[in-house]
Structure formats: C-alpha cells, structure tokens
A and B are shown apart, each in its own frame.
Chain A
Amino acid sequence: MMNIKNQLTTYLLITLTMVFAMSCGGNSSSEHEHDEADSHDMEEMEHSAAEEHEHNEGEEHDMVGMEHGDGEMMMGEGFTWMPTEESMSMMEYKTDNIRVATSGDEDVLMFEPAGQKASCMFKNKQGNVGVTATLKMESSEAAVMLLHHSTGKDNYEFVSLEGGVMKLGRVENGEEKIFDSKDIDVPSDWFTLTVTAAGTHYKGYLNEKMITHGHGDMMKPGLLGIVASGNSTISVKKVEATPLEAER
C-alpha cells in the first residue's frame, strides 16, 4: 500500500512539474498577461492627458520640440501612414529635425539627425503587431530603428539597421537585450523594413525576407515609432501597422 502511495506521489510531482514547465512562457499564460495588459491599458487611456504628459516627460530618444496633433485612433487599430502635412497629426510627437519633403514625385518624411537623434512616435498603442516602413538610407552612415511596444524611454522593443547589421531586441528598464543580429547588405534604393511581434516571437524582415528571429516575454502594448541617427538622412514614404490577431 505504501508502495502505491509513493508511486502516486512520484507521478503527481512529475505531472505538476511538467504542467508548471509548460505554463512558463507558454502562450496561454502570455495571452492571459496580454489580456490583463489590454484592460489595464484601456484604463490608462482614460487618463490620457495626464499620461501623455508623463509619457513625454519620461521620453526618450532625445525628444525635443514634441508636437501634439489631433488625429485619434483606437488602440490596436491598423493604419497606413503616408507623409503629408495633414497626416503629421497622427503622430504622438516628433523631433524638430524631421520634415515632410519631396523626393521625385513623392512626399517623404525626411529624418535629418545630423549626429543627434531624429524620432517620431505614432499615436495608437499596439499589442501583437507587424510594422513595415518603406524607407531609403542615403548612406551607410545612417542608422534607423523601428520601435514597437514603447511605453517610455527605457521600455521598448525594436529592430534596427546600423553599420550593415540588423539587430532585433528590447530595452527594458534601460537595459538593452539583443534577441538576434545578422550582417546584411542594406539596399541603396527604397526598401521595406518590417518588425513583427507575435506572442513571444519577434522577427525582423528586410524586403519581406526574414533576417532575424528572437524570443522574449510578451510586453504591454505600446506605441510605434521610428528613430534615425547618424550623419546622413533617411527618407520614409510609408508606414503600415497591422495588428496581428491572436489565435483561438
């Protein structure tokens, strides 16, 4: 009888260990966290005015001359952004060294960091998301970063291109963690840079080809943005954000 009890205890412990191991970092728990984060964010949005101030004050990316616009979007709503003077209202803020310019027949958003940082953030918050920017880097001295899940200067996720390297990572409480990085040839003409955040999976694409793939815990929904740095200009002619639906 004792022997059977010992066996039962052994298997119970094994089962519990397995269930625990599966739940750590698993999707269901992540989705639960995500749901909690979502509802938390909806509450936060009710206090948007106070929070925007706080967010911007805590912000980041060397923000100066922030502009607040009137364009409003629902949280998690996808969008396609084209640079016009009107569409600048979709931005939460931008630095002074960004302007709408004309390149050929098209309007572009021109980042002129000149050794500083030039950045802009879009208004709506996103959870699981795919963000694609169509851009051109004038020289290899330019560096660009697509941000997502940004909740402040010390907390965001990113894919970046700098010095012929694509990096995929996260800054959490000011500490940078690189999920993956790969050497690449950055096109001299227009190209698309995409980052996707699907659950605990993060990927960076260049011209729709996957270059980097990493994993990390799911973060709270946050803002999307672009940060340029270096001594060369970067032109952006389109930004598309696509919410990624959770599986059922």
Chain B
Amino acid sequence: MQLLPNWAPGIHPLMIHFPIAFLSLAVGLTILEIFYSREWLTKAISGLYIFGALSAVVSYISGRSAADSIGLNLKAEVAIGTHSDWGLYTLIYFGAFTIIYYLEKFILKRNTLAVRVLLAVLALAGFFILGQTAEYGGRLVFEYGLGVKN
C-alpha cells in the first residue's frame, strides 16, 4: 500500500503542518488562559503542547532526511541551513517549554495570574521561533522551488 501520494517528495511537507497547528493553537489558548483559567483548558493546552513537541521531533528528523536527499542546490544552500537551525531551536524550545508547562500546572500547581502571564510570554517567544522556521520552510518551496516538480 502506498502511504505517500505521488506528488509528495517525502513525509516532511506533510508532517510540518502538525507542529504548526498544534503549537499555534496551544500558544493562543495559553494567552486565553490568562483571563479564562479552567482545568479542562489547561488539560487541552497540555495535550496540544505534548503532541506539538512530538510532531516537531518527527518533522525535524524528516526534514534532515529531506535536506540530505535533494541534491546540489547552491542558491538554496544557506536557506536550507537556516531553516534547519530554526527547526532545531523550535524543537528544543517547545520540548523544554512543554516540560515547564506540565510541571507548573500539574506538579507545582501554582495557578496565579503572574504564572499564567509568564507562561504566555514564554509561549509567545516560542511562537516567534516557530514562525521563523515556517517562514524559511515556505521560502524553500515558494522562493527556491525545492520539492516542486517541473
């Protein structure tokens, strides 16, 4: 059975949408949580960060593989490296942040306004890193044409 469609150059362009969706939503809800703190919301956010971080791991690994298989493209070489670096930062940052969020909410249980604001600020910093990764990834496709047939 064929898992990938014929037009897809690999699993990476399919996988990358999961961390973008999970983590973006998680960051948005973390900001909402400043004003609207509920246990069910905290659980949902935790789940989104966990799935987001795990899918970021898969995206990074599949991205490394994709970058090594595309052949020589001197024009895109620096952009590939930059995208890869930001991808690694995203992975490390959200991996660490997910642990912090989980510890704060379920172990230390310090649900004060100050904690919620600080978590939101840290989440926004991660969103910036995620955005940088996505921007360079988008440029690789739409500016340099990587993975595009014809």
Interface set of A (CB-CB < 8 Å, partner B) = 3-4, 7-8, 11, 14-15, 18, 21-22, 26-27, 128, 130, 194, 196, 198-201, 203, 205, 208-210, 213, 242, 244-247
CB neighbors of A among B85-106 (8 A): 85-86, 89, 92-93, 96, 100
Q: Does B3 contact A (CB under 8 A)?
A: no
- With a cutoff of 8 Å between Cβ atoms, the chain A residues found around residue B69 in the complex are 210
Q: Are B92 and A27 in contact (CB under 8 A)?
A: no
Give CA–CA (A219, B125) in the complex, Å.
Answer: 30
Contacts of B68 in A (CB 8 A): 210, 213
Nearest-CB distance from A242 to chain B (Å)? 5
* A128 cross-chain contacts in B, Cβ below 8 A: 77-78
Give min CB distance, B70 to chain A, whole Å. 8
Q: Are B78 and A4 in contact (CB under 8 A)?
A: no
Q: Show the binding face of B for A, using Cβ within 8 Å.
A: 68-72, 74-75, 77-82, 84-86, 89, 92-93, 96, 100, 110, 112, 114-115, 118, 122, 125, 129, 136
Are B118 and A244 within 8 A (Cβ)? Answer: no
Whether A247 pairs with B78 at a CB distance below 8 angstroms is yes
**Cβ–Cβ contact B72 & A205, under 8 A:** yes
**Interface contact tally, CB-CB below 8 A:** 79
Chain A minimum-CB-distance residue to B69: A210
Q: Is the interface of B mostly helix, strand, loop or mixed?
A: helix
Contact A14 B78 (CB under 8 A): no
Cβ contact of B93, chosen from A18, A27, A200, A244, cutoff 8 A: A18
| CB neighbours of A4 from chain B (8 A) | 112, 114
In the assembled complex, which residues on chain B have CB atoms less than 8 Å from the CB atom of A21?
A: 92
Closest chain A residue to B97 by CB distance?
A18
A-B contact pairs, 17 of them (CB 8 A): A7-B115, A11-B118, A14-B96, A18-B125, A27-B86, A130-B72, A198-B78, A198-B81, A200-B85, A201-B77, A201-B80, A201-B84, A205-B71, A209-B72, A245-B78, A246-B78, A247-B79
